[in-house]
A and B are shown apart, each in its own frame.
Chain A
Amino acid sequence: MLVRISTLIVKELTQFRRDWLLALFILLAPALQLLLLAQAIERGIHEQPLAVLDLDRSRLSRQLVLSLDNTRELRLRFYAGSMDQVRSLLDGGQVRLAVVIPAGFARSPQQIQVIADGTNTVAAAITMSAVSGVVNRFASDLAAGYGLVMPELIDFRTDTRFNPTMNFRDFSIPAQLGFITYQVTLAMASLGLARERELGTLEQLMVTPLHRFELALGKGIPAMAVGALNFAVMWLISLALFRMPMRGSPLLLAALTLLFITAEVNWGLLISAISRTQQQAILFVFIQAMVDIALSGFIVQVRNMPALLQALSRFVPLQHYLVIIRSIMLKGAGWEELGPQATALAALSLAAALLALRTVARRVE
């Protein structure tokens, strides 16, 4: 039996030797993608272009403009001359936000106007709250200057755990790791059987002494190996290059990652077993990948989804795995905390495996 499985594995791997572009995509692209995405989402939303229409042109208004420019979120790009120019800057997308300082601001600093571009709501909300923060501080500095100091009655001591500098990269890299491993594994596993069926070689395999269980193993093991290899390389990159913390046990992470990869391979085999052509399998994988990215809690927190989608996300292995990898790397979580996620992964994996084996059996006979 072992011999038969390993022959099948060797057969699967020769495919890479023949299709060098596929090998390149599978082995190099994931690491490249990690490098690129990690760089892009390193810093969150910073340096958004700002236009100022200063109708006051006083020392005080210039001070306010300067403090707006001094925030991380905003960068002063244009001094607009008129409201028309403000409109054309916002229309053309050259600035994301405009601040209008009315005439007479220095005599009685009472009001300023903020106009945000609502086409990207995330950027709009962040830049608007940055302006409010600046203006509040500016106002209280002014009040302090007039001797109108308001005592701070609540003295907040804050303590940020696990990611004290609130570095966005520490948050996103573990998710990228899980996600890239996910796509490579699923894409590898989902086409194996469909390809044989489309090319007509599945019948040939069926007349060999291969049992369907051995066939599944022979198709699944190379996909698992590719997934595990990719994960290991990217994990090392994230520690060495991006200085990610690793607070939990590497052994636990490895074990649960393997469990996750197995679940995705089984799911991929199921897709492969129910599709008649590769094109169908690819269609499934694409729709699945988009839905999984969305439901995984990678971009939108699961808690913020409608109840039905929250329930649906429990069936997405990636969702459980993202909790696992973030908790182990950033929070140092151990087996006790991650029991529910691990159980869910195991159950999803088993269910997909059983379904896949049954489908293969039905399809072949």
Chain B
Amino acid sequence: MMSLRRTAAIVRKEMLHISRDPRHLFLVTLSPAFLLFLLSYIFSFEVHQLSLAVLDLDRSPLSRRYLASLTADRELRLTHAVDRYEAILPLLVDGQADGALIIPPGFAEAIQRGQPAQIQAVVDGTDPFAASQALAALSSRSGMFVAGTAGQPVRSKPIEVRSQVWYNAGLESLLSMVPGLLAIVLVMPTLALALALTREKESGTLEGLMVTPISGPEYIAGKLLAYLGTGLISTILASLVAVLWFRVPFRGSFPLYLLLAGIYFLACMGVTVLIGSFVRSQQTAMFAVLLIFIVPSFFLAGLINPVSTESLPSLLTSYALPTTHFVQISRILFLKGLGLAAVARPALILAGMGPGALAISLCLFRKKVA
């Protein structure tokens, strides 16, 4: 039978541990806020500037005007002027330029006669994002230049695309990244739990506890509650950084967010308790959390690229990661400001994960004792 008093004793013991060591206190309360602060700056990329090398073989006023028109919106920068074709490749190889533009002799003449002028663009395809961005920017700026120069009025497009962006009207990446990153940095409380569970095994204090009347489930519940509590405190602190420092609007209900964060912690921590029953050293626990939660979360949780539906193994992994669901919840509550109904699916999945994993580890634990 589980005793509330004994569980509370474990919670108190854990709190004492935490409050005594300032570094541990930082890990469980402030580290998510600190990481969010740091990572948000790096991930909120707005303008991609691309640098181009130019080989202008025409050297006419028109070609110079054309080149100047390319840099008008500062997306493209002309960083290198070269005088031979051979000089281009080395610039691409060591990454000094993303691409190169070659204007052939007779460029101005052709344009003035209204004939097509050939321009050659060489881009570094190593980074497909940058390469396709460079090509798109080049062709759209060139189109505008030609439309302006050839004396024709800029033809109005027959079909106008009127775009609206909902939930993030300015399409600001900071607003989308900060709520997403919150889900990732909130893995830190789980790490704290993983270390707390294995440290007692490693230092031998677990055996001491086991001879007291405290039972296995009480011990686990006590640890879980302690880190759930500090996790919620760290959620509040990190959310404050998001709202006050980064000025991300919080449009949903914050008590609901805290409740769902609790369910998210329970899911992560349930999986950790399950793994923890096999793990004996803190080093292994660290590897487990790093390889199971942190690294896949950056790539598979839909933080930057949406969850890929094309490959089954990666789809399954994405769904098995608690972070994927909390990235969704976090963005919906911060930006869309909807209620419980909108987050029901991810919330239910998370709510199933925690108790599920805990039940399995309880069964395993029983077997070990028996």
Write the residues of chain A forming the contact surface with B, with a CB cutoff of 8 angstroms. 19, 21-22, 25-26, 29, 33, 36-37, 39-48, 90-93, 96, 109-125, 128-129, 131-132, 135-136, 138-139, 142-143, 150-168, 170-171, 179, 183, 187, 191, 195, 198-199, 278-280, 282-283, 285-287, 289-291, 293-295, 299-301, 303-306, 309, 323, 326-327, 330-333, 337-338
20 further A-B contacts with Cβ under 8 Å, apart from A121-B172, A294-B39, A338-B94, are: A19-B283, A40-B311, A40-B317, A44-B305, A112-B160, A114-B161, A116-B163, A116-B165, A117-B167, A122-B176, A125-B171, A156-B120, A158-B122, A160-B125, A162-B125, A199-B203, A289-B294, A306-B41, A309-B42, A326-B126
What's the count of A-B pairs with C-beta under 8 Å?
329
Stretch binding the partner chain, chosen from B209-217, B259-267, B284-292, B351-359: B284-292
In the A-B complex, the 6 residue pairs with the closest CB atoms? A118-B168, A40-B314, A163-B125, A166-B128, A160-B125, A294-B42
CB atoms of B121 and A156 under 8 A apart: yes
Interface string of B107-128 (1 = CB under 8 A from A): 0000100111111111111111
Interface string of B126-165 (1 = CB under 8 A from A): 1111111001101100110110001000010111111111
CB atoms of B313 and A39 under 8 A apart: yes
**Bound complex: CA A290 to CA B45 (Å):** 17
**Bound complex: CA A198 to CA B38 (Å):** 30
Q: What residues on A are CB-neighbors of B42 within 8 Å? A: 294-295, 300, 305, 309
CB atoms of B295 and A119 under 8 A apart: no
CB atoms of A293 and B298 under 8 A apart: yes
CB atoms of B282 and A91 under 8 A apart: no
CB atoms of A122 and B171 under 8 A apart: no
Query: Measured between C-beta atoms, what is the minimum distance from A74 to chain B in Å?
Result: 12
CB atoms of B122 and A161 under 8 A apart: yes
CB atoms of A112 and B302 under 8 A apart: no
CB atoms of B308 and A323 under 8 A apart: no
CB atoms of A119 and B159 under 8 A apart: no
CB atoms of A36 and B281 under 8 A apart: no
Q: In this complex, what residue of B is CB-closest to A195?
A: B283
The one of B39, B158, B296 in contact with A139, judged by C-beta atoms closer than 8 angstroms, is B158
Q: What residues on B are CB-neighbors of A158 within 8 Å? A: 120-123, 135
CB atoms of A155 and B118 under 8 A apart: yes
Query: Measured between C-beta atoms, what is the minimum distance from B310 to chain A in Å?
Result: 6
Q: In this complex, what residue of A is CB-closest to B128?
A: A166
Question: Number of contacting residues on B, CB 8 A?
Answer: 119
Query: Measured between C-beta atoms, what is the minimum distance from B345 to chain A in Å?
Result: 9
Q: What residues on B are CB-neighbors of A40 within 8 Å? A: 299-300, 308, 311, 314, 317-318
The one of A90, A109, A152, A183 in contact with B290, judged by C-beta atoms closer than 8 angstroms, is A183
CB atoms of A286 and B123 under 8 A apart: no
Write the residues of chain B forming the contact surface with A, with a CB cutoff of 8 angstroms. 23-24, 26-27, 31, 34-35, 38-39, 41-43, 45, 47-49, 51, 89-90, 92-95, 111, 114-132, 135-136, 138-139, 142-143, 145-146, 150, 155, 157-169, 171-173, 175-177, 179-180, 184-185, 188, 191, 195, 199, 202-203, 278-284, 286-288, 290-291, 294-296, 298-300, 302, 304-306, 308-311, 313-314, 317-318, 328, 331-332, 335-336, 338, 342
**Bound complex: CA A91 to CA B252 (Å):** 13
CB atoms of A155 and B119 under 8 A apart: yes
**Bound complex: CA A265 to CA B169 (Å):** 46
CB atoms of A91 and B336 under 8 A apart: yes
CB atoms of B160 and A110 under 8 A apart: yes
Query: Measured between C-beta atoms, what is the minimum distance from A319 to chain B in Å?
Result: 12
Query: Measured between C-beta atoms, what is the minimum distance from A261 to chain B in Å?
Result: 17
**Bound complex: CA A53 to CA B111 (Å):** 42
Q: What residues on A are CB-neighbors of B302 within 8 Å? A: 120
- The 26 listed contacts between A and B (C-beta, < 8 Å) are A36-B317, A37-B299, A92-B342, A93-B332, A93-B342, A112-B160, A115-B166, A116-B164, A118-B165, A118-B167, A118-B169, A154-B142, A160-B123, A162-B92, A168-B128, A171-B128, A179-B295, A282-B191, A282-B195, A283-B26, A285-B286, A286-B188, A286-B286, A289-B294, A301-B45, A331-B93
Q: What residues on A are CB-neighbors of B155 within 8 Å? A: 150
**Bound complex: CA A287 to CA B167 (Å):** 31
Given A90-B166, A110-B160, A295-B42, A118 contacting B176 (CB threshold 8 A): yes
CB atoms of B167 and A119 under 8 A apart: yes
**Bound complex: CA A45 to CA B132 (Å):** 13
Q: In this complex, what residue of B is CB-closest to A30?
A: B291
Given A153-B111, A156-B138, A279-B23, A114 contacting B122 (CB threshold 8 A): no
CB atoms of A119 and B176 under 8 A apart: yes
**Bound complex: CA A294 to CA B202 (Å):** 32
CB atoms of B282 and A139 under 8 A apart: no
**Bound complex: CA A341 to CA B23 (Å):** 35
